[in-house]
Amino acid sequence: MADTVKAEPTAVEPTAQDAVADQSHAVEPAVEHTAHNASGLSKSEQWLLWPFLVLSFYLLGLNSFTMAVYLINAAALFNSSVQYSTLAVIESMILAIGQPPFAKLADIIGRPWSWVFSLGSYVLGTIIMATSNNFATLATGVIFYAIGYTGITFLQQLILADLVAPNRRVLVSNLLLFHYFINFAVASKISAALEPNHWRWGPSMFTILMPTINAPIVVVLFLQQRKQRLSAGYERTVSRFHGLSLFGRVKELVLEFDLLGLFLISAAFCLLLVPLTIATEAPKGYSSGYIVAMFVLGAVALVAWPFVELAVPRPLVHLREFAFNIDIVVPALVYAVDQFSTTLSYQPALQWVEVTFDYDTSNAVYFYYAQSLSNVAFSMIAGGISMYTRRYKWVSFFGGCLRVVGVGLMIRYRTVGSTTAQLVIPQIVQGIGGGMLTANLLVAAQQSVSHARVAIVTAVLLLIINLGDAIGSAVTGAVQQNLQGLMHQYVDPVVGGNATIATMVYEGGAFAAKAYPLGSPVRDAISAAWSANMHQLLVGALISGVINALMCLGMPDRQLASETQNNVTDERLGVSVDPQPDLNQKLEMTA
């Protein structure tokens, strides 16, 4: 095809001389082995894998619909509504930073053992959350839960990339989000039945269901791994860790997982984002010594990170390779800015509608997820269009423009006195735009690299998405701190200067606000303060949405591959489940 990206060499077994001559372009240990041993599924394996993969997507969708509601209300019950913004940032950071290590883990120990590890972390986290009696214990559970959730979501996308050609993947990956239609109807009823007194049954339910539904997928992957190892063409290779001392194993582990680079990027974003959510609680606000120190150290770590990535022998992110690939860079930036913009308008919407319009939990969840429902519906349509035309650029640009229209309508109608239609229609319009904007971007990036790189490219894109969400959560938390001042500005005059009420509602959120009837002077003042704060967030969402629509114009107008695994090599489709071998050891054996 005339306009595809420049083809990379087809993965072939390198010679020792090749490896020595060009170390800067030497493939990772999994390249030769993965391409050589990728294996399609038998009919029986497909019949076992696909139904449970569909159910796994559904269950994770139900998780995303309900878990945030349980956590928000649990934080409020623990009198920690304000601290929840900080926890949301930390959770988003785990979802972001966890992607590359899971890509490496999947290549080293294989897809099935990575799935087992993810399920174990997820189940441990939900158990801790369900048994927590204070915010600190709840936060501990969220950390383990986020690690497991990160692994499962990443591995789902990786299996799709293994099995489905790019032009069909844009549709299949979006069709697997069908669960939003079911969960839109049932999730709010589940949440309403459990909130607030029985919220612990929420995470408890997933403790049982998640391993049950995912177990057959793991079985198929282990069968694939066993079948590969028994095949005639299989060559057993020596692990990097073979024959090393304890110190050597630790050193190899640090290099293999790029722990220095991982530490720097984690520290950078945590130290830059967390202070935004806690500064108002500091003795001198942003001028407090430890707040300033966190910003400085975070900036230093962020500046140092790319230099470390360029220097280490086995970087996780492959900055040197990916930073100049426009098929990766532009979709990544569009994803990040879109996630940032969406979070500003989306994250505070649940409590805003409960406070301003006195929605109960069920109706508030319907309102909250109307955007997600339309997003999924039109991502399927966008995937179908791209599968038929084998193009995605202009679909994304049109979606970016609709995103801007949706946020503009939110600025106009997220106010006291709006009708139900005026509240919901902007949610739907922005969801339509988001579905068309982002439906095909992950596949566009995946198809720009060889099969050996698809795991890490998937991880990098998911990392960028979650970084956008983390930055959005941090900025949302920082802007929502203005709510305290707005509360005093609007509420104190109504209650004769009694500052206690404004402080109580600020800390207690919707639960505290509902102590005052809708239409009463105090409730009207609370609603006005909340709406003023919401508009501050929406202005930021509008500006970033405009930037994103313009960035879509810089996206390459590529065709989507229809038969091969990607758009740059002639590699066949198939699951790669075997652990990553050590290329250096193999070169020594074959030299």
pLDDT at 238: 55
Residues 291 and 409 in one domain: no
In a domain, 528, yes or no: yes
pLDDT in tens, 128-158: 998 988 888 888 999 999 999 989 988 988 8
Amino acid at 141: G
Nearest to 345 by CA among 529, 218, 534, 483: 534
Residues 550 and 420 in one domain: yes
Exposure letters 316-329 (e unless 16+ CB within 10 A, then b): bbbbebbeebebbb
Which residues on adjacent β-strands are paired with residue 575?
A: 39
Q: Are 172 and 164 in contact (CB under 8 A)?
A: yes
- Structure-token pair, residue 302: 């962020």
Residues 226 and 265 in one domain: no
Distance CA 255, CA 318 (A): 13
pLDDT at 47: 84
Q: Which domain holds residue 280?
A: 259-311
Residues 276 and 253 in one domain: no
How many domains in the chain? 2
Residue 573 has pLDDT above 90, yes or no: no
In a domain, 582, yes or no: no
Residues 352 and 451 in one domain: yes
Angle ∠(44,50,53) on CA atoms, nearest 5: 135
Residue 575, helix vs strand vs coil: strand
pLDDT at 212: 94
3-state DSSP of 307-352: HHHHHCCCCCCCHHHHCCCHHHHHHHHHHHHHHHHHHHHHCCHHHH
Residues 231 and 318 in one domain: yes
Average model confidence (pLDDT) for the chain? 78
Residue 287 DSSP symbol: G
Cβ count near 532 (within 10 Å)? 16
Please name the residue that has the structure tokens 């220097």. 311
Q: What is the mean pLDDT of residues 178-183?
A: 79
Residue 591 has pLDDT above 60, yes or no: no
Distance CA 355, CA 486 (A): 15
Q: Residue 341: which residues within 8 A CB-CB, separation 6 or more?
A: 403, 407, 472, 540, 541, 544, 545, 548
Residues 544 and 419 in one domain: yes
Q: Are 460 and 317 in contact (CB under 8 A)?
A: yes
In a domain, 570, yes or no: no
Amino acid at 24: S
Q: Residue 148: which residues within 8 A CB-CB, separation 6 or more?
A: 118, 119, 120, 121, 122, 123, 124, 125
Q: Helices in 176-311 by DSSP H: which ranges?
A: 179-194, 201-230, 246-256, 259-278, 289-311
Name the CA radius of gyration of the chain, rounded: 25
In a domain, 225, yes or no: yes
- Structure-token pair, residue 25: 């372009």
530-to-95, 418, 485, 525, 577 alpha-carbon distances in Å: 29, 14, 11, 9, 50
In a domain, 567, yes or no: no
Residue 32 has pLDDT above 50, yes or no: no
Distance CA 455, CA 125 (A): 25
Residue % of the chain over a pLDDT of 90: 17
Residues 215 and 344 in one domain: yes
Residue 585 has pLDDT above 70, yes or no: no
3-state DSSP of 196-225: CCCCCHHHHHHHHHHHHHHHHHHHHHHHHH
Q: Are 559 and 3 in contact (CB under 8 A)?
A: yes
Distance CA 191, CA 359 (A): 14
Residue 463, helix vs strand vs coil: helix
Angle between helices 166-175 and 361-389 (to 10 degrees): 160
* Domain CATH code at residue 349: 1.20.1250.20
Distance CA 472, CA 346 (A): 10
In a domain, 276, yes or no: yes
Nearest to 29 by CA among 456, 461, 464: 456
Of 311, 335, 351, the residue at which a domain comes to its end is: 311
Q: Please report the sign of the dihedral spanned by the C-alpha atoms of residue 83, residue 85, residue 88, residue 90.
A: negative
Q: Helices in 518-591 by DSSP H: which ranges?
A: 521-552, 583-590
Q: How confident is the model at residue 288 (pLDDT cuts 50, 70, 90)?
A: confident
Q: How confident is the model at residue 354 (pLDDT cuts 50, 70, 90)?
A: confident
- Structure-token pair, residue 128: 């801790």
Backbone region of residue 97 per phi and psi (left: phi > 0; alpha: psi in -120 to 50; beta: other values): alpha
Amino acid at 333: L
Distance CA 556, CA 524 (A): 50
Q: Higher model confidence: residue 30 or residue 87?
A: 87
Residues 403 and 294 in one domain: no
Q: Higher model confidence: residue 227 or residue 375?
A: 375
DSSP per-residue letters across 478-536? HHHTHHHHHHHHHHTTTTTT-HHHHHHHHHHHHHHHTTS-TTSHHHHHHHHHHHHHHHH
- Structure-token pair, residue 108: 């080293």
Q: Please report the sign of the dihedral spanned by the C-alpha atoms of residue 122, residue 127, residue 132, residue 136.
A: negative
Residue 433 has pLDDT above 80, yes or no: yes
Distance CA 232, CA 535 (A): 65
Residue 591 DSSP symbol: -
Q: Are 23 and 584 in contact (CB under 8 A)?
A: no
Residue % of the chain over a pLDDT of 70: 84
In a domain, 3, yes or no: no
Amino acid at 551: M
393's enclosing H/E stretch is: helix 393-413
How long, in residues, is the chain? 591
Amino acid at 43: K
Nearest to 32 by CA among 583, 589, 584: 583
- Structure-token pair, residue 495: 């209650």
In a domain, 137, yes or no: yes
Q: Are 355 and 526 in contact (CB under 8 A)?
A: yes
- Structure-token pair, residue 35: 């391409």
64-78, 530-544, 559-573: least confidently modelled range: 559-573
Q: How confident is the model at residue 55 (pLDDT cuts 50, 70, 90)?
A: very high
Residues 456 and 316 in one domain: yes
Q: Higher model confidence: residue 539 or residue 347?
A: 539
Residues 57 and 182 in one domain: yes
pLDDT at 124: 95
Residues 279 and 427 in one domain: no
